[in-house]
Structure formats: structure tokens, C-alpha cells
Chains A and B, each alone.
Chain A
Amino acid sequence: MVYDVAIVGGGITGCAIARELTRYHLQVILLEKEAEVGFGVSKANSGIIHGGHHGKPNTLKGKLEWTGNQLWDTLHEELGFGFQRNGELTVALQEDQLPTLAELKWQGETKGVPGLELWEQEKLQKEEPHLSPDIIAGLYAPTTGVINPYEACFNLIENACLNGLELVTDCPVTGLSQDKDYWTIQTPKGEYASRFILNAAGLFADEIAKMAGVGDFTIRPRKGEEYLLDKRLQGYVKRVIFPCPTPVSKGILVIPTFDGTLMVGPTAEMIDDKHDLTTSSAGSSQVFNSVTQVVPGISARDCIAEFAGLRPVADGEDFIIGPTAKRGFFNVAGIQSPGLTAAPAIATLILDILHEEGLNLSPKDNFTPSIEKPIHFASLPTEAQMELAKRDSSYSHLICRCEFVTEGEILDAISRGARTLDGLKFRTRAGMGRCQGGFCSGRCMELLSQKLDIPVSEVTKRGGNSWIVRERDEVFSSDV
């Protein structure tokens, strides 16, 4: 069969586009090279829905930041991923930074971002008592939020699949060829044919474009290291804290994540290797040194985990969205920060472009905008917990004790598509807490093994060769 649209890449951009496309009478397929969607750029970033005022209005990313920002509330209502508008403060430590705050405020107001306020020291200390007393002013933006980006990917794709998307994981694209009316996509899992191809391949979008014969740009990774702190610091700061930006960087942030952990980072370092997700001593020192200037009570001693993510930076730093010299092949590339924020707006934009280029968008009557929201046992009131555990006893077995995740939630996550330990972790938080899976890994592996009907030794951390345990050697053979 020939698909109408094939999306290459299941990051937040690909997932958002896929979900928009399934509103219409179209055959849509998404090819993802990893074991699950959201396992590339989208799982390892600051998880911020930017307020809308940071991006320059004369850039595509600056425009889509604010448009995208406004689309997240509806998505959140329909799909129920972790998202909260907890606001942001960009803070100034010195007098000479005040003009930058004023400029940001003006820039936001020009774009129509509401509620921006300059706060003086007294108000800052009242609202965020753990900020450094050296901070002299802050720009408050109520539009900023925090999100679980991987959850957004999972839920978007679950909804898209519910509405007819075909999802193929573990499926890297290895070649593209154009026939008269359609493209043929080569993968290790076979060939797929599609009239339109959307290149949302993140870090590898330049390579996919090259396969299509339109490789006129490069994607370079900019690495960001992030450090997660123990949950006992929950509430230590309530809003996302930005230092005053410099022309080269937004700086190191303090991020109260949706799940109540504090995260500090990211660094920003241009590198060459698209697989380099290493953290470094230099990165860790940089993060903690700069963050303590803004929130002095934060200490590296509270770190429970660290990670690095790569931002796909295109030449010229802006997003590359639109048609190419090859008919039917479209780029959605260079989606670096604020790409997560912009994703829903990118989806709308690319649909308009596809429509102009001849894709017929005829709405389905039976599009279902929502999914059944995953249950989060720990956050239910006691009465509801009692009721649920009585109804389904799998909710009365605790699996992850740091984050209070029950067996019922693990089983539900597997039924929704979790295939790996990381997939379970990002869906349920099992293994994400302070013991980092020391208690729950074994049980999670057994449940994955049972439900997927694979041996425990074939359960992986995140697909590929990331096996966790192996079978014992047969020591006692019969002729001993």
C-alpha cells in the first residue's frame, strides 16, 4: 500500500504532527529508529514550556514559541501528560542586567505575551525565599510551564494510534528513493511507500535529507548536561528560575519539574558526535557553581542522577520547516530549544504547508481527541486509592517505593506500549527516584518479561544492545 504521509522520527515534533494528521482521512505511518518514541532528543531536555517572551520575534522559532505555548493547555486536557504552568523568573544579580530584563519584557509584550511583571527584591524574597539575597530584580512570566516531555510523546502517539496511525519502532530509515507518484523508504523491517515524507529525524535530519537528495544543511549537536536533585527539596523553589541571559546563552536554570524534583542545568556545548550523551566533571562544576549564585542552598550533594541531551542545531540556528527541491519531501529540522514548546505549532504549520502542496485534508467524523488517562496512584486521595485497590488488586502491590508506583500502573504502561525499563520509567516514574531502580528494577523486568512474553534476559534498558542481565552459565553438565 502507499501511505499518504510517512513521518521519519518519533520525537515530540513527529508525535505532534502524527497526532494532527490523524484528524483527517489519511493513511499515516511513523518510523522510529529507537525502541520507543521520545527516546532521542525529546527525553533529555529541560522539560520547559517557554513563556513566549525569550525568542526573537523575527525568527521562526521565536514566533512558533509563543504560538506553541498557547496550544499546550488543550493538549494537556485531552491527553493528560504532566504539565503545569508554574511560571518563571528571570533574575538579575547586577544593575547592568536590568536593561536586559526590560528588553525581554518589551519583546514579550510585542508578541502579546500576557502577565509579564518586573519584581523587586522584596517581592522576590517573599515569593521565592530561597533565592539569593544578592538578586536585585526579576522578570516574572506566568505563561511558562514545566512538562514531562517523554510523557507528552507517549500520550500524543497513543492518541494518534487510537485514531489510525501506524507506528513502527526499532525501524531506522536506511535509504529513500523517489518514484513518479511516491517515495520508497528502505528500512531493516522492509520497504514502505508514501506520497509525502516528513523529515522529523532530529539529530539525524541532515542525513535523512541527504538520502532524499536535498542534503543542503547540517545538524550539529549542542550538548546540555542536567542534574536531578533529591525530592526532599520539593518546593524549594516554585517557579523556573533563569539567570539573566547573555547574548550566547540562556544560562543555567533551576527547574522544579512537574513530578516535584528539582533539576539544574543545562550546559550548552557544541560537539561533533551525535551519540555523545556523556556527562562530565566540568559540566557538573559549571552547573552547580552557577546555580548556587542564584539559589545558594542547592548542593551537589543532593544530586540523585544526571543526564545529557543533545539539541539538534541547524545552520543559522533557526528551525527549517517546509518543502524542499524534491516534490513530496518536507523538512521539519533543526528543532532545538524552544522546540518542545513550539511542537504543537510546528504541527499546525506543517499541515498548512502540506495542504498547500496538495495533501487533501478531509476531517474524520470519528476522531477521538482524548485517551484514557493513566492512573497515578500516589496522587489520588486516600478514598479513591481504597476504592481502586479493592476493584483491581494489582494496585495494592507496590513496585517502586521511591515514587510509590503500583503494579497496576506498570501493567497499564506495558499495555500502552512500554517495551523497556526506560519506557516504564518515563511512563510511571518507577526507577526515577532516589534509589534509581535499586528496589524496583528486578520486579519491573519480571513484569515486562511476563507481559511481552520474552525471557528476562531479553529485557533491555532502552532497546538495542542495552541488555541488563544474562542467563547463568550451565556449570554442571551431565558428564561431570
Chain B
Amino acid sequence: MLTANLQHLDKDYDVVVVGGGPAGMAAALGAKETGAEKVLIVDREKEAGGILLQCIHPGFGLQHFREELTGPEYAERYKQQVLDAGIHVATDTYVLDIDQDKQVKLLSGTDGVRLINTKAAVLSMGARERTRGAIRTPGHRPAGILTAGLAQKFVNLMGYLPGNKAVILGSGDIGLIMARRLTLEGVEVKGVFEIMPHANGLNRNIVQCLHDYDIPLHLSTTVVDLQGRDRLEKITVAPVDSHFQPDLSKSWDIDCDTLLLSIGLIPENELTRRLKIRLDPVTQGAVVNSQMETSKDGVFVCGNVVHIHDLVDFVSAESELTGRNAGLYVTDQQPPGDNIRLVPGENVRYCVPHTISSDRTHTVYMRASQPMEESILRLGDVYEKKLRYVVPAEMINLKVRPRFLQNFHGETLKVDILPVDNT
């Protein structure tokens, strides 16, 4: 367990990291490596590690550690490094506010309300799950309707089951993982329903969590009614047309007492908003430069608070970079600023970071809007790369190297994903 390793908080820090999940831990380590001396991780739970701790299934670390780990194992690897690096960890501690001068107001289980100062801040608060209100599912409001992540917490951390017969709305990864998890626990999982014509989770999860357990996946279908006064008793599902309008004449009922929602994640940017940092309406995270610094000087971001990742491995990589830059910031070694703005074009929902510099190598993360078979990823006129297939569920990352940009003198670069026959 990575619990608090200090008696009391100090008054001043070089870098304060908000959130001790995979993003926060990697960022804290990165900051230490580039010279930040006093680094503090603040986590609201009794133990740092974030959502990894409730992800007891394997499949983590294939990219980053070249071996397959469970969530808690992945967190454990970082925990040891964090302790060895002498990073302060405050658990059961919540950041109530950060002001423009980077004074941080904390509510700490051991120290009560405290004000501390920091030279740089890393925001790595992660994401929250979308709830029923976000999709306004009609019907009653009984017990038994909950997000997949909360169900995961009940089962894996608290040791309780959310019900007897379950249906899952949305094909996000947590929903798929929970379909398998509940089946293994003896809960009857009657199906996964996805309003989009394609699944929203990773293909490997569709195979390993649904196909292997004969759990049906119904695409272009959604829940149109919920029945049951005290506890959920029955739901009605119906196919939708291309405008997502349900065809009620083809609806059918399913007896179930539990509905898990796996309908997407929303970056937790309340602190970011309070700092009046510029946000990207598409990612719902901060607009960042290639150092993962926001519009507010000395405030950096990483992980799901910037954009939703599908693999923790990418979170680690991105966050380590963020932390390194925060360390460079507090030791006055920041590299020069960016000179090129990336603009999402055809079939590209967003790019992170939003700007890059032509004299350094950057990893640019992006997501497609639509699935596409054979396609070409094109960076303005300067670079292109064949992609086997793209799906919105799987993040694309591209190493942009200085040599691509040798002969480029513009200020904006459009990023497109085009079908092969159109190029």
C-alpha cells in the first residue's frame, strides 16, 4: 500500500501533484529526475494508485513494462520508485483549491485544513464516469442503476455484488471488463448494449470479456425504459436508426435488477476551471503545449484529466514527460516554446499536445472520429504514414521528429486520416 509517508505536510514545495494515480506517480518521478527537490503527491483515497487499484484484471503494462500485469501490480511498480525517490505522499487528502499564486488549500485527514505553496503544479485528477443524467434515459429511478466503475469498486474493493441479473449499457472498456467480472462472480450478465454502430472498447476486451463468455453485444441498440419502483426490475431496449432515434416498434424487455452504465468518461477539470485555464471543448481537458503546460504558467497536466486514454501505458509515458517538464520549469531549464499549432482535420477528433516545436521529437496522441479500414495519417504536406485500421476506441500515437519538419515554415499543421483510395 502506498499510504502517507510523512507525519506532517511542509509549507513549501517545488512541485505539487494533484492525484496519485498512474499519471500523478509518473509525473512526480519525472519531476524528481529533472531536478525538482521537494515533490508532493496528494491523493484523496487512503492509498495512492488511483483507479488501478480496483482494476484487478490483467492486461496492464504490455507497452510500458513489456509484461502483462494487473492494475494493482502496475501501481506497485510505481509505488516503490516513488518511495525510493523520496517523494512525499499525502493520502486521505483533498485539494480544495489552488489559487493564481499556486497556493494550494488542502483538507488532510491528519493535518486538517492546510495552505501550502508550490512553484509548479501538476494536475492529474483523472476522470469521472458519465452518469444517467448525461444521457437522460427515460423511466423510473430505482436502486440498481450505477456506473460500471462504481460496480467495480463494490465488487473488487468492498467485496459486494451489485445485483443478480445485469445488463450493461455502453461498450466502454470498464463495462466490458465488468461483464466478465460479474459473470465470474455468478451474476447473470444478459448483454451489452451500444447505441453506436461500433464498440467503444478495445477489441481485445470484446474478445476476452464478451466472446469468451458468450455475452451478446448488441450494436445500434439502446435502453429506452427502466422499470421498478424501489429496485430495478425490467428494462426495455430498442434498436436505433442512423440518427440514434430508437425504433420502439422493435423494442423488447429484459428482466434484470442491475444496469451498469459504461457510457464514457469526463475529465475532472474542476480545479483547472477554477484556475481559469483554457480548455479544449473536444477533449474537455486543458489546451497544452508540447511540455504539457497549460495556459497558466507553471501548471502542467497529464493523464485522463487532459484527454481520455485507453491504455495506462500511454498515461505513464505522457505523465513522465509532464513531470520532467515541471522539474525543468522549477529549475529554470525550460526549453524554448513551440512554433507549430496542430489542427485536427479529416476524421481526427483531436490532437494532444495542441502545439509542438520543430526542433524536438514529440509524441502526438490523437483519436479518429470514425472507424476506417485502410487509411493514411497525414501531417500537412510534410509526412504521411499508412494505418492498418483506425477505430475511435483506440488512441493513435505518432512520433513527430524534427526531420519531418525540416522544410516546413508554416505556423499550423493540419492532421488528417484519409481513406487510402482518396489519397
Contact = CB atoms under 8 A, between A and B. Distances in A.
B133 A303 contact: yes
Nearest to B149: A438
A328 B113 CA distance: 56
A465 B230 contact: yes
A307 B138 CA distance: 10
Given A279-B139, A438-B147, A389 B107 contact: yes
B136 A436 contact: no
B112 interface: yes
Contact of A396 (B112, B129, B147, B229): B112
A439 B43 CA distance: 13
A83 to B, nearest CB: 25
A473 B162 CA distance: 12
Contacts of B150: 437-438, 441-442
A471 interface: yes
Contacts of B230: 460-466
B56 interface: no
Interface in A299-339: 300, 303-307
Nearest to A284: B136
B339 interface: no
A404 interface: yes
Nearest to B245: A281
Contacts of A472: 159-161, 185
Interface in B129-156: 129, 131-134, 136, 138-144, 146-147, 149-150, 153-154
Interface in A122-143: none
Contact of A398 (B94, B136, B139, B144): B94
Interface in A250-288: 275, 277-281, 283-284
A467 B160 contact: no
A439 B115 CA distance: 25
A401 B229 CA distance: 28
B104 to A, nearest CB: 12
Contacts of A110: none
- For the complex, would chain B's binding face be called helix, strand, loop or mixed by DSSP majority? mixed
Nearest to B46: A397
A281 B157 CA distance: 36
Given A456-B158, A473-B185, A280 B138 contact: yes
A435 B136 contact: no
Contacts of B115: 382
Contacts of B163: 470
Interface residues of B, number: 49
Contact of A434 (B108, B128, B143, B154): B128
Contacts of B185: 472-473
Contacts of B296: none
A403 to B, nearest CB: 11
A370 interface: no
B164 interface: yes
A395 B111 CA distance: 11
A386 B134 contact: no
B321 to A, nearest CB: 27
A69 interface: no
A287 to B, nearest CB: 10
A177 interface: no
B337 interface: no
A351 interface: no
A278 B161 contact: no
A396 B231 contact: no
A274 to B, nearest CB: 11
Contacts of A281: 136, 138
Contacts of A305: 131-133
Given A396-B113, A438-B129, A462-B230, A467 B136 contact: no
Given A460-B143, A461-B143, A435 B231 contact: no
A416 interface: no
A439 B128 contact: yes
A302 to B, nearest CB: 9
A467 B133 contact: no
B96 A404 contact: yes
Given A279-B138, A303-B136, A460-B143, A469 B109 contact: no
Given A232-B273, A398-B107, A435-B131, A465 B231 contact: yes
A467 B231 contact: yes
Residue in A283, A463, A468 whose Cβ sees the most chain B Cβ within 10 Å: A468
A1 interface: no
Contact of A438 (B113, B131, B140): B131
A390 B107 CA distance: 11
B160 A470 contact: yes
Interface in B143-200: 143-144, 146-147, 149-150, 153-154, 157-164, 185-186
Given A401-B94, A438-B129, 19 more contacts: A275-B229, A277-B140, A277-B229, A284-B136, A307-B141, A382-B105, A385-B107, A389-B113, A396-B107, A398-B44, A406-B107, A435-B131, A437-B150, A439-B128, A442-B150, A442-B153, A469-B158, A472-B161, A473-B186
- A-B CB proximity, top 7 nearest: A389-B112, A469-B160, A461-B143, A465-B230, A305-B133, A466-B143, A466-B230
17 contacts: A227-B136, A279-B141, A280-B138, A284-B138, A304-B131, A382-B105, A396-B109, A396-B113, A401-B94, A435-B128, A438-B131, A439-B128, A464-B229, A465-B231, A468-B162, A469-B161, A471-B160
Interface of A: 227-228, 232, 275, 277-281, 283-284, 300, 303-307, 382, 385-386, 389-390, 393, 395-398, 401, 404, 406, 434-439, 441-442, 446, 456-457, 460-473, 475
